[in-house]
Structure formats: structure tokens, C-alpha cells
Structure 1
């Protein structure tokens, strides 16, 4: 069972700049969710940018394994082969000592319903992985991603 649901907790964060439409950012994030998984309400925190501009940080949290894993899998399945290869090649840098995996997705593409890796103005993903005590989380995710792409 743990093999099929390796994500026990998922956090999705997106910044909304003063010039952006909050609803468009909400749509970008909701496009990452698979059909049948309800998009949870987000928590909003007001921030101030470097130049004094107004920002909001929107944070969605999935605390249950099934919706967290299915949403994360949907994001991975949405990536093109080059992005997926980049994730696999950089997996050891994406997973920290606490078994959290990090990924950034292009917010503008997500608003259009396209899932792509991105570094600027991105949607930040943090997946808390469920990995047995002595198991290697990098190997575990490599196997999981390869299983996902074989099934697709």
C-alpha cells in the first residue's frame, strides 16, 4: 500500500503579485489537481516585496495520503519527457534529509492547463514522502516515477 501512495502530505504555494489576478492564480493551481480530487481552500498571507509592493502567499495543503499522492502523480504525469527526465536527474537535490521532495512549476503555463517545470514566478510544491526507515527516498521516488510513466 505504501508503495502506491508515497506522498503523505502535500503543500502547494504560489505568490500573487499586486499586478496579478488572484483568481487566475487559483485557477493555475486548481489545474494541477486530478479529476475527482477536491481542491482544498487555501490560506492567504499578506507579504511585502523587496520594493514595498504588495504580495500574497497562497498555500494549499493536502494532509491525507490518497489526495496528496494522486495530486502529486497528476503533476508528474503532466510533465513532458524532458521535464520528467530533469526531475529524475536532479532527484537527489530535490529531496532533503527530512524526506521532503521539492519541485517548482511554471505558474503561467499552469494557468493555461499545461504542467511544466519553472523557476521564475513559479508554483512551489513540497511533498512529504512516506519512506520506510532505512529505505533510500531517492531510489523510492525514482521507482515510483518510472512506474507512473510506464503506466501512462
Structure 2
């Protein structure tokens, strides 16, 4: 079903890093077992923008089947009906030929403890790698619908 889930969020120079961390933690914390530490999942890359401004790219990957299942449960419990309907309408366009399913969630809403779908680039980017054998977009579509298309 799910092979792994990648999370990425960008912190610009004008942003408070702790708020960006909170946004990422909002997605990760519900997926971990009591023995796991958030810090072990996260990685930060420091880079520069076009004008030399500092940028922090924070990433995390959920690889364990249980953690991926917990993310799906977290998603279903927290997504609004309106956002779910928007996502349903866009599902075919959000699944690529490599069976990656893409979603974006508001960074500000996540930092405030809310799940809010967004089209903005100022987001927590989520990439869900769908697993089918043999690899097939036609088989992946129904899996995405089952996992993320209904509560």
C-alpha cells in the first residue's frame, strides 16, 4: 500500500524556526511510537536563496508501515469535508507516473495544530509513495482513493 511518506517544509529567513518545526511536528508526532523521538526523523539542510538570504529546508521520512498507517488515520481524523472534496477532485493529477501522491498543507495552520489543505507554496509538502506489484498507475489510483479519498 504505502512504501514511505516524505515531508518537506521550507523556513525562510523571516520565519521563526520553532514555528516551522511545530508545523512539521504536527504531522510527525501522531505517527510515532512512544519509544521513537521526533529528532531522529528530522533533517535540516541550510542553504541560500537567490539574494543570499538563509533558507532552512526541513525534511522527514516515515518508513515503517505502522507509522504510515498512523499518518493515514491522522489525516482522516483531521481533514475537513471541504478539503477532502477538493483533494478527491484533484487525485488523478496528484498521482505521478512513479506512483508518488502529492499533497500540500498550510504551514501556518499546522503550526497552530490544524490540518488545512492548500495550493500555496508556503506549505508542508507531503509525498506518499504508493506501492503496487507490478508497478501500475491504474492499481495505485484505487489505493490512493481508499487511503485519502474518504473519512
What is the TM-score of this pair, normalised by structure 1? 0.83
Two-structure CA RMSD over aligned residues (Å): 1.9
Structure 2 counterpart of 1:21:
16
Deviation >4 Å, runs of 4+: none
1:91 corresponding residue in structure 2:
91
Ranges in structure 1 where 5+ consecutive residues have no aligned partner: 1-5
Question: What SS does the aligned partner of 1:110 have?
Answer: helix
The residue that corresponds to 2:142 in the other structure is 139
Question: Which stretch shows the higher mean deviation, 90-99 or 31-40?
Answer: 31-40
Q: Structure 1's 77 and 106: CA in aligned 2 closer, same or farther, altered over 3 A?
A: same
Q: What is the CA-CA distance between 1:76 and the residue it aligns to? A: 4.2
TM-superposed CA distance for 1:117, in Å, is 1.0
Residue 98 of structure 2 aligns to a residue whose secondary structure is coil
Q: Quote the Cα distance in structure 2 between the aligned partners of 1:73 and 1:130.
A: 18
Which residue of structure 2 aligns with residue 59 of structure 1? 59
SS of the equivalent of 1:68 reads: helix
SS in 2 for 1:10: strand
CA–CA separation in structure 2 for the residues paired with 1:9 and 1:74: 16
Q: Cα offset for 1:34?
A: 5.5
How many corresponding residue pairs? 143
Ranges in structure 2 where 5+ consecutive residues have no aligned partner: none
CA contact (8 A) 1:7 1:72 kept: no
C-alpha change, 1:124 and 1:63, in structure 2 (3 Å) is same
Q: How does 1:25-40 map to 2 (within 5 A)?
A: 25-33=20-28, 35=30, 37=32, 38=36, 39=38, 40=40
- Equivalent-residue separation in structure 2 for 1:123 and 1:109 (angstroms): 10
C-alpha displacement of 1:68: 2.0
